[in-house]
Amino acid sequence: MVFVQMITVSAILLVLAILGMAITMLVKKNGKFPETHVGHNRDMRKRKIVCAKTWDRQEQQKALNSLRKKHETLLSDFAEPEELSKPSYKGLHLAD
């Protein structure tokens, strides 16, 4: 008997919570909840906070650019100007 009462009370509280969210959506100006994804949140962008995937992509790009600069420096230090060729980065790629 206690189990049935507990399930009933839980169901009522759940329905009230869902109704509360629905009323919030109806009453709000745009009818939307605030964006919780880091990349789409205006306040997070103001603070220059990015999601992990974006941060990883940026760091990989920095590493690749650093590697390119090192490669070009080494080529220019040890090769004749006519021997310089565009370096190949076939094995290096950014994660998607």
Task: Encode pLDDT of 18-62 as tens digits.
Answer: 999 888 778 877 767 666 778 788 888 888 888 888 889 999 999
Residues 50, 90 share a domain: yes
Eight-class DSSP state of 81:
G
Q: Give first-to-last CA distance, the chain, whole Å.
A: 55
C-alpha of 67 from chain center:
24
- 44 and 80 housed in the same domain: yes
Say if residue 41 is in the same domain as residue 54.
Answer: yes
Residue numbers of the domain that contains 8: 1-33
Do 27 and 70 lie in one domain? The reply is: no
Q: Are 29 and 39 in a shared domain? A: no
21 with 43, same domain: the answer is no
Within this chain, do residues 75 and 47 fall inside the same structural domain, yes or no? yes
**pTM score, whole prediction:** 0.42
Position of tokens 């919780």?
A: 36
Residues 45 and 5 grouped into a single domain: no
